[in-house]
Chains A and B, each alone.
Chain A
Amino acid sequence: MLNLQDVTYKKRGKYLLSGINGHVKLGDCITLFGPNGAGKSTLLKIMAGLVKPTKGKCQIESSSKNPIGYVPQQVALFEGLTVKDQLAYYQKITKQKSDTFLNDMIQSLGIEDILHKRIEQLSGGMQRKVNLAVGMIHQPEILLLDEAFVGVDLAAKYDMLSWLNQLNQQGTTIVFITHDWYIINSLKPTMWVLDEGQLLDQVEWNSISYLNLNGGSRSLQKMFDVNVANH
């Protein structure tokens, strides 16, 4: 579905990504995992088509007009508009006509009570839920989430993860960035481990003990140590 061939990205003389190769299949659940500055957000933006790689290719095979749903790190919503207005606006521009999916999503995410509230009146967690809903409004085949769970309380996180699990089981591909082991353990993704712009390894979430971290940075090793300590 999505092919990365020798993707390299250079900015201001510095390589943010070097020779990334990978393949995302329909229905996959993948997390881009690594310390800050590893190139995760840049790789996700390349996957979304927002950034063009300096070298290499990123190809998407899809028959859909809008196969990608992108949820940025920021709460990308219009201030001054109600939740209902936000959803209606994105529904209109994406030409999404299925109200069944929209209503299902509103119910699953638990945002039916805040539809008439303006974005700035919502808590951080609720804003994140709406941010996610807007990114998924057109039923994308592949959903790209850039730290979509930052500042979300456990109850809201539970709603969001349940909905994402449900979508993934129905065949939606999910690629997400997170530093949160709780989310990784809930979504049970394949981990693409990135460090200093390089893809070190691809492992299943429950096989990280087989991960070869030789050559990885100290920050990366600490990220795995945290998970070991939690268990």
Chain B
Amino acid sequence: MRIIVKKIFKNKWTWLFLVFMPLIAAIMAMTLVDSTSNDLRIPVVVVDSHEQPITDDILSEIKGDDTFYIKKETSIPRYALERGEVEAIFVIPENLEEKINSSDLEKSILWYRNKRSVFDGLFKEQLASTIMKRAVRAEAANIVINEQPEQNWNETYDYGLRYFEPEPIFQLNFEEIQSVQNDAGEESNQQYILLRFLIWIYMWIVLAMLAKIVLDWKQQAIFDRMSVVHHSHKLRHAWLIMTILITGILSLSLLLILQHMMLEKLIWFDVFRDVLLILGSAVIYYMMTYFIRRKETLWAFALSYSTVSTVVFFLVYYQFLTLDWWTFLFLPSWILM
């Protein structure tokens, strides 16, 4: 065992990098996922070249909704729209408050968007809803003041909110929300399967490097020498135990981390199946070390098998192929069962 550990850590930086690479990748991925999820808000720009207080009032009302990332500008940033940095630009007209109070709102707000804009309509509806709420109350106050001039307009405007509580114009009903959640769940499941496949590919590379050690010893005639002095395969067996330990611990850790990240609860069946697949890969390499003599042949075998397995996996994954007995000859296909 000591011999194998020393041989592995002869190029310790390579091995440390190889072992810690998935952890580094996972940490980076988690950081990116976190920052991406923070940025999932819809970026819009509201332009008010006259810097009117009512614009701030309306925006502070909308900002209570975390769906939007609202940036206020005094001029139109067309470059941001062209680059796709924002979904849309809304330009507030001069004298907005007067327009609201007089219900003169037709075509008052300019809405810039590009072809790729998808969700900016949500903000349009929210903005329209907020402005219309004020407009309706103002209109109600105007009617009351016309009928009863002794009444105070502002009091009537505030009072109007009790009777005019317009529902937001844009609203998802229950079924639509449900449908979105199902899609998200399906997408998460697809990602989970793909990441399990990536773990297999990673472990396949680690195993190829471990198998290379055996071929080195074979090429150096170390096994010949040992066969003469000792009629056993102690070194090969020690290598196999070491390989099982390394691959078992590494793959188990990766799969548990993956399930922790992707799933709400552990599915031990998946974990055991994937660990068995990886150990099956180790057995394939172990058998190959008896037949292969040259490292180049090992690399050719490792590359060919992983390439064909990848092709078969994705053909089944995208339903161009159905699972059949021969597809199970390629280990990653077992993930799709």
Q: Which residues of A contact B31 (CB under 8 A)?
A: none
The interface size bin for chain A is 20 to 34
Among the stretches A15-23, A62-70, A154-162, A218-226, the one at the interface with B is: A62-70
CB of A40 within 8 Å of the partner chain: no
A78: nearest chain-B partner, CB-CB: B3
Contact A90 B3 (CB under 8 A): no
Among B148-156, B222-230, B248-256, which stretch is in contact with chain A?
B222-230
Contact of A138 among B219, B224, B229 (CB under 8 A): B229
Distance, CA A71 to CA B229, complexed state (A) = 11
B224 touches A80 (CB 8 A): no
Knowing A89-B3, A93-B234, the reply to whether A78 touches B229 (Cβ < 8 A) is: no
Q: Cβ of B6 < 8 Å from any Cβ of A? A: yes
Contact B229 A93 (CB under 8 A): yes
Give A49 to B231 CA distance when docked, in angstroms.
Answer: 10
Within 8 A of B (CB), among A52-83: 66, 68-81
Contact B224 A94 (CB under 8 A): no
Say whether chain A's binding surface is mostly helix, strand, loop, or mixed: loop
Q: Which residues of the other chain, B, contact A208 by a CB distance below 8 angstroms?
A: none
Q: Is A150 an interface residue (CB 8 A)?
A: no
Q: Which A117-172 residues have a C-beta within 8 angstroms of B? A: 134-135, 138, 140, 144
Pair B228/A68 contact, Cβ less than 8 Å: yes
**Residues of B with C-beta under 8 A to A138:** 229
Residues on the B chain within 8 Å of A45, using CB? 224
Contact between chains at A50 and B227 (CB < 8 Å): yes
Residues in A neighbouring B9, C-beta threshold 8 A: 80
CB contacts (< 8 Å) of B222 on chain A: these are 76-78
Residue of B nearest to A82 (CB): B6
Task: Check A76 against B221 for contact (C-beta < 8 Å).
Answer: yes
Q: Is A115 an interface residue (CB 8 A)?
A: no
Q: How far is the CA of A93 from the CA of B229 in the complex (A)?
A: 8
Q: How far is the CB of A110 from chain B (nearest CB, A)?
A: 22
Whether B220 pairs with A70 at a CB distance below 8 angstroms is: no
Known contacts A79-B10, A81-B6; A74 and B219 CB within 8 A of each other: yes
Cβ-defined contact, B230 with A74, below 8 A: no
User: Within 8 Å CB of B217, what residues of A?
Assistant: 78
B228 and A48 contacting across the interface, CB-CB below 8 Å: yes
Please pick, from B3, B10, B219, B230, the residue contacting A94 in the complex, using a CB distance under 8 A: B230
B234 contacts across to A, CB distance below 8 A:
93
In the assembled complex, B7 has its CB within 8 A of some CB on chain A = yes
Task: Indicate whether A93 sits within 8 Å of B228 (C-beta atoms), given known contacts A74-B219, A76-B221, A78-B6.
Answer: no
Q: Is the interface of B mostly helix, strand, loop or mixed?
A: helix
Task: Tell whether, in the assembled complex, residue A80 and residue B225 are in contact, meaning their CB atoms are under 8 Å apart.
Answer: no
Contact with A along B190-233 (1 / 0, CB 8 A): 00000000000000000000000000110111101111111000
Measured CA separation A77–B220 after assembly (Å): 7
Known A-B contacts A66-B230, A94-B229, A138-B229; the reply to A81 vs B224 at CB < 8 A is no
Q: Which residue of B lies closest to A146 (CB)?
A: B221
Q: What 0/1 pattern do residues 90 to 105 of A give for CB contact below 8 A with B?
A: 1001100000000000
Query: B6–A76 contact, CB under 8 A?
Result: no
User: In the complex, A94 Cα to B6 Cα: how many Å?
Assistant: 21
Instruction: Please give, as numbers and ranges, the residues of chain A lying within 8 Å of B225 by CB-CB distance.
Output: 70-72, 76, 134-135
Q: Look across to chain A and name the residue whose beta carbon is closest to the beta carbon of B9.
A: A80
Q: Tell me which residues across on chain B come within 8 A of A79, comparing CB atoms.
A: 7, 10, 216
Indicate if the CB atoms of B220 and A76 lie closer than 8 Å.
Answer: yes
**Which of A66, A68, A74, A80 counts the most chain B CB atoms within 10 A?**
A80
Additional pairs, 17, CB under 8 Å, beyond known A78-B7, A81-B7: A48-B228, A66-B228, A66-B229, A66-B230, A72-B224, A74-B219, A74-B220, A76-B220, A76-B225, A79-B7, A80-B6, A80-B9, A81-B6, A85-B6, A93-B229, A93-B230, A94-B229
Could you name 22 residue pairs across A and B whose Cβ atoms are closer than 8 Å?
Answer: A48-B224, A48-B228, A66-B228, A66-B230, A69-B229, A70-B224, A70-B225, A71-B225, A72-B224, A74-B220, A76-B221, A76-B222, A78-B3, A79-B10, A80-B6, A80-B9, A85-B6, A93-B226, A93-B234, A94-B229, A134-B225, A135-B225
Q: Chain A: residues with CB nearer than 8 A to chain B?
A: 45, 48-50, 66, 68-81, 85, 89-90, 93-94, 134-135, 138, 140, 144
- 10 tightest Cβ-Cβ pairs between the two chains A and B: A72-B221, A80-B10, A70-B228, A76-B221, A76-B222, A74-B221, A76-B225, A80-B6, A94-B229, A76-B220
